Amino acid sequence: MTVTDPRPTRPDTPLLVDTFGRTARDLRVSLTEKCSLRCTYCMPEEGLPPIPDAARMTTDEVVRLVTLAHRELGVQEVRFTGGEPLMRNDLERIIAGTRETCPALPIALTSNAVGLEHRARGLVEAGLDRINISLDTVRRAEFAELTRRDRLPAVLRGIRAARDAGMDPVKVNAVPMRATLPGAPDLLEWALAEGVRLRFIEEMPLDADNTWSRVEMVTAREVLDTLGERFDLHPVGREDPAAPAELWEVPGHTTADGAPATVGVIATVTRNFCAACDRTRLTAEGTVRSCLFSDDETDVLGVLRSGAGDEEVARVWRGAMWGKQAGHGIGGDAFHRPRRSMGAIGG
């Protein structure tokens, strides 16, 4: 019996296209499973199972895979994440190496900012263009409870260092939780005073402890209602039609360059934007993941380590993305939580 592949034939293009008409141009690279915090919506108390050092991508391997993604596959932005990318002491070398081989590629970082105060300047000198920092509350006891570490002062120093090193804009991402929701207006007040751009992102079922519930999660609507108790927010739409963040202007406040200050809300769960998804991901072990919510991973590092040339690695990567699923389907009957949590995949 012949088994036929039900998928349509892949068009002859170098780009990372899929069967739903999307093209991935935004690459997220997880550099490590290690982290200085233990956010309850992400990591287990004891941290993630350690990846053997030999299995984690080296400096040169990261640079080579990012470079071929940019040159051969049409990737137009790379973001380094984790785990916590600052846990790698070769982060500056990874960024400098990427900058050298890909001078026009925007390089971004997602970080919890612990230790950033000592490295912000070096990261900018290495070629870092943009940074997103995660901070869910400016109340110290709440922060310690949520992250299981009393490190709020270090995070605040890191955020100021990023700004002082010239990173602009500094975006701050917050995952609203039941316990921190009442403090959301204080967080916005702080962001406005510090001149950083705050965005709330709905919690997804990607926590290692498996406690997420659709009923308990805080929705984007609830965040807006809570902020509305102190701020008279005006909707301004999206930065561009494909951007996931819906922006709200905060009247009476401006950014450093005089533009109206805004706050963003990203409704990852209640209003999914999978149809416009343009992401491709590499885990710290060098596997391609086409979607956060799919367990399918394709080992491109293994192909590279076997001695294959860039064209062969690119071919395998294209094949992995062609099979990308339509969307996450959270809340639907057919939804399955992925086996790996956010910190293990790379957020």
> Residue 148 has which token pair?
């299981």
Prior bond of 182 cis (ω within 30°): no
Closest CA to 300 of 276, 284, 324: 284
92 binds, among ligand SF4, ligand SAM, none (CB under 5 to 8 A by kind): none
**Residue among 24, 34, 38, 41 that touches ligand SAM (CB under 6 A):** 41
**Residue among 111, 137, 262, 283 that touches ligand SAM (CB under 6 A):** 111
Cβ proximity to ligand SAM, 66 vs 175, nearer residue: 175
Cβ proximity to ligand SAM, 81 vs 287, nearer residue: 81
Burial of residue 309 (number of CB atoms within 10 Å: 0-12, 13-18, 19+): exposed
Going from the C-alpha of 151 to that of each of 141, 145, 148, 155, 197, the distances in angstroms are 10, 11, 9, 6, 21
Going from the C-alpha of 311 to that of each of 48, 103, 266, 308, the distances in angstroms are 33, 21, 36, 8
Residues that bind ligand SF4 (CB under 6 A): 35, 37-39, 42-43, 82-84, 112, 134, 343
Q: Does 110 bind ligand SAM (CB under 6 A)?
A: yes
| Cβ proximity of 40 and 149 under 8 Å | no
Total chain residues near ligand SAM (CB under 6 A) = 20
Cβ proximity to ligand SAM, 18 vs 207, nearer residue: 207
**Residue among 72, 84, 117, 142 that touches ligand SAM (CB under 6 A):** 84
Packed helices 59-73 and 91-101: angle between N→C axes, nearest 10 degrees: 30
- State how far the Cα of 258 lies from the Cα of 134, in Å rounded to an integer: 25
207 binds, among ligand SF4, ligand SAM, none (CB under 5 to 8 A by kind): ligand SAM
Q: To the nearest whole angstrom, how small is the minimum distance from the Cβ of residue 46 to ligand SF4? A: 12
Q: Does 29 bind ligand SAM (CB under 6 A)?
A: no
Closest CA to 179 of 42, 41, 83: 41
Question: How big is the chain by its Cα radius of gyration, in Å?
Answer: 20
- State how far the Cα of 304 lies from the Cα of 97, in Å rounded to an integer: 18
206 binds, among ligand SF4, ligand SAM, none (CB under 5 to 8 A by kind): ligand SAM
> Partners of 237 in the beta sheet?
247
Stretch that binds ligand SAM, among 35-43, 189-197, 242-250, 301-309 (CB under 6 A): 35-43
Q: Does 162 bind ligand SAM (CB under 6 A)?
A: no
Interaction residues for ligand SAM, span 188-217 (CB under 6 A): 201, 203-204, 206-207
Residue at 2: amino acid letter: T
Which residue in the shown chain puts its C-beta closest to ligand SAM? 347
- Whole-angstrom distance between the N-terminal and C-terminal Cα of the chain? 42
> Residue 45 has which token pair?
């108390």
43 binds, among ligand SAM, ligand SF4, none (CB under 5 to 8 A by kind): ligand SF4
Cβ proximity to ligand SF4, 42 vs 170, nearer residue: 42
What are the residues binding ligand SAM (CB under 6 A)?
35, 41-42, 81-82, 84, 110-112, 134, 173, 175, 201, 203-204, 206-207, 342-343, 347
